[in-house]
Amino acid sequence: MPLPTCFEFECPVKTHCGDRALENIAFEMRAMNAVKPLIIGDEPAAQEKRLVPVLNAFKNAEMTLGVVEAIPVEDPASVAAQLAAIYRDKDCDAIVAVGQGPFIDMAKWLNLMVSTGEENPDAFIEGKGIPRSLRPLAVIPSATADGLELSGYVRLQGKTLRSVNLMPPLLFLDPRSVGQPGDVALAETGLTALTLALEAMFTADANPMDVVYARTAAKLAAMGLNGLAGDSEIGGPLSLTVAHAAALAGCTLGAGPQPLAFKLGWAVAETGKISAAQAMGVMLSYVLEHRLAANEMPADMLLELLDSAGRYARTPEGQRGAAGLQLLRDLLNRLFETTDGKIRRTLSDSGLSLQDVTEATEGISAQGKGNASGGQETIITCAWEGRPIR
């Protein structure tokens, strides 16, 4: 890929990943001058007792911890307001959030509130006025993730705030705190991560620093998905791999515009027939195929990302792009098999008609990031049928 002649990169997230990651929370808090974190967890975290290892990890840290467990996400604005009152009342000075998806949006909003004193999200529309240094926020995600946890996005009651400054400064991935979701949930997290990562890699203006996160997230997602699809060579704890992929994919997105397949996935999910993750997983290869053809960019690197440098090198040059896309589609087909059809190969697998999909995705703009105009219909038709564009 050619180097863009002008770009900007920023990722304020510090990653801690692996064995005893949680034990470092206290150290990082002290380094940021915080002594009394407010530890908050969502309902799934409470059910799976994922807060227990987090609290235990503070042993010998000589700190006082504020704890609020099993927090619902139905009414995030009022929950955040209540938590902000608690935070101030109890003199907390940092936030540790254990959970996933919308709960993390709520935690980021809570942090913005306690850091600035502002209670109205409208004050920050378009990322305006969000200060560079907020209070320390540590995110402890699970392997069930929607990919936006580590991004600079905050979705709150139909509004979206985004800013690099909203990216959580601390990420802790620990085998004890990522949970053990079932294969379908894991595959969905993996597909979301793969979508965000590959979309970031295969854009005309990808810069080598964004590509660092994208590349790593893509390889981790591929590793996790290949493991779920029964690839015997892949060992290790799959939950951690998949959670890792999703977290880094969120870093890749940052506060940038959401990529096409991601947006299409969420739009199709509105029909209620298929999850956003699965829909974007299905559409990913078609979005890439269409974009790469339109921009005359090679899809060759897919082979290296999804398999290995060796596979890339030994495949003849002219065959690499097609082989890469085929590998991506095969991955979905294998997941379809190992999950007894619960992971869809095509949009029609979900029982949606082509018209349903077309209606659901109307108004999604494919602008920016090198998407060709007018290709949406082709992408959707091919993704519905499961037929390569060429």
Partner 1 sequence: MELIYSEKRSGKSYLKQSYICVLLWFMGRAVQAASRVDDRVRKEFKDLPENFTFALGVMPAGPHLVVRRTAEGTARYLGHRITPQPVDLKMEFKHLDAGFLTFTFRENTPVATARDRLVVDGEVGYACAVVRILDAVQIYLLPKFIARLAVKRYPRWPLGQKLLHRTRIYWRTILGY
Partner 2 sequence: MLHIPGYYEYCCRVNVVAGHDGLEKIPALLERVQAAKPMIVTDRGVAGAGLIDVVTAALGDKVTIGGVEDDVPQDSSLEAVQRIAEAYRANGCDALIAVGGGSVLDTAKGANIMVSEETDDLMAFSGVGKLKRRLKPLIAIPTTAGTGSETTLVAVIKDHARHQKMPFVSYFLLPDAAVLDSRMTLTLPPAITAATAMDALTHAVEAYTCLAKNPLSDANAVSAIELIARHLMAVMQQPDNRDGRLALAVAATLAGMAFSNAMVGMVHNIGHATGAVCGVPHGTCMAILLPYGLEYNQHRNGHLTAELLFHLEGPDVFAHTPSDQRAQKVIACIREMNQSLHAITQGQHARCLRETYDRDGNRAVPFERLTEIAATAKNDPAILLNPEDLDDEDYMMVLEHAWDGSPLNRADIAGFEKKY
Letter for the amino acid at 31?
A
Cβ contact 146:192 at 8 Å: yes
375 binds partner 1 (CB under 8 A): no
Smaller CB separation from partner 1, 23 or 304: 23
Please identify, among the stretches 55-63, 90-98, 150-158, 236-244, the one whose residues bind partner 2 according to the rule CB under 8 A. Answer: 236-244
Distance separating alpha carbons of residues 24 and 141, to the nearest angstrom: 15
Which of partner 2, partner 1, none interacts with 60 (beta carbon under 5 to 8 A by kind)? partner 1
Of 66-74, 139-147, 224-232, 381-389, the segment contacting partner 1 by CB under 8 A is 66-74
**Do 3 and 204 meet the contact criterion of CB atoms below 8 Å apart?**
no
Tell me how far, at minimum, the Cβ of 331 lies from partner 2, in Å: 16
Number of residues that bind partner 2 (CB under 8 A): 46
Q: How far apart are CA 269 and CA 164, in angstroms?
A: 27
Using CB distances below 5 to 8 A depending on partner kind, what does residue 66 bind out of partner 2, partner 1, none? partner 1
Residue 363: how many other CB atoms lie within 10 Å: 7
Among 4, 7, 9, 27, binds partner 1 (CB under 8 A): 27
Binding residue (CB under 8 A) for partner 2 from 72, 129, 230, 236: 236
Q: Which structure tokens are listed for 145?
A: 């993730």
In whole angstroms, how close is the CB of 134 to partner 1 at the nearest point?
Answer: 21
Kindly report the three-state secondary structure assignment for every residue of 204-255: CCCCHHHHHHHHHHHHHHHHHHHHHCCCCCCCCCHHHHHHHHHHHHHHHHCC
Residue 314 CB, nearest approach to partner 2 (Å): 5
The one of partner 2, partner 1, none whose footprint includes residue 63, by CB under 5 to 8 A per kind, is: partner 1
Tokens of 328: 């991506």
- Tracing tokens 């990919």 back to the chain, one arrives at 147
149-188 residues near partner 2, rule: CB under 8 A:
169
Distance in Å, CB of 10 to partner 2, minimum: 4
CB of 380 to partner 2, least distance (A): 33
* C-alpha to C-alpha distances, 272 to 75, 259, 279, nearest whole angstrom: 21, 21, 11
Residue from 47, 49, 309, 337 in contact with partner 2 (CB under 8 A): 309
Q: Is 30 in the site for partner 1 (CB under 8 A)?
A: yes
Distance CA 313, CA 260 (A): 30
17 forms part of the interface with partner 2 (CB under 8 A): yes
- Residue 117's Cβ-count burial label (10 Å; 0-12, 13-18, 19+) is exposed
207 makes contact with partner 2 (CB under 8 A): yes
Chain residues 78-117 in contact with partner 1, contact rule CB under 8 A: 78-79, 82-83, 86, 90
| Residue 99, number of CB atoms within 10 A of its CB | 27
Q: Which is nearer to partner 2, 202 or 312 (CB)?
A: 312
Residue-wise DSSP of 258-316: PPHHHHHHHHHHTTSSS-HHHHHHHHHHHHHHHHHHHHT---THHHHHHT-HHHHHHS-
Per-residue interface string for the shown chain with partner 2, residues 27-46, x marking contact by CB under 8 A: ----x-x-------------
User: Is the CB of 17 or the CB of 61 nearer to partner 2?
Assistant: 17
| Interaction pattern, residues 238-277, with partner 2; x per rule: CB under 8 A | ---x--x---x-----------------------------
Q: Please state, in angstroms and rounded to a whole number, the distance separating the CA atoms of residues 316 and 349.
A: 33
Judging by beta carbons within 10 Å of its beta carbon (0-12, 13-18, 19+), is residue 35 exposed, middle or buried?
middle
Exposed, middle or buried, 247 (CB in 10 Å: 0-12/13-18/19+)? buried
Looking at 109, 124, 213, 384, which residue binds partner 2 (CB under 8 A)?
213
Q: Which is nearer to partner 1, 90 or 387 (CB)?
A: 90
Site residues (vs partner 2, CB under 8 A): 3-21, 24, 31, 33, 132-133, 169, 207-209, 211-213, 215-216, 219-220, 223, 236, 241, 244, 248, 308-310, 312-314
Site residues (vs partner 1, CB under 8 A): 18, 20, 23-24, 26-27, 30, 55-69, 71-72, 75, 78-79, 82-83, 86, 90
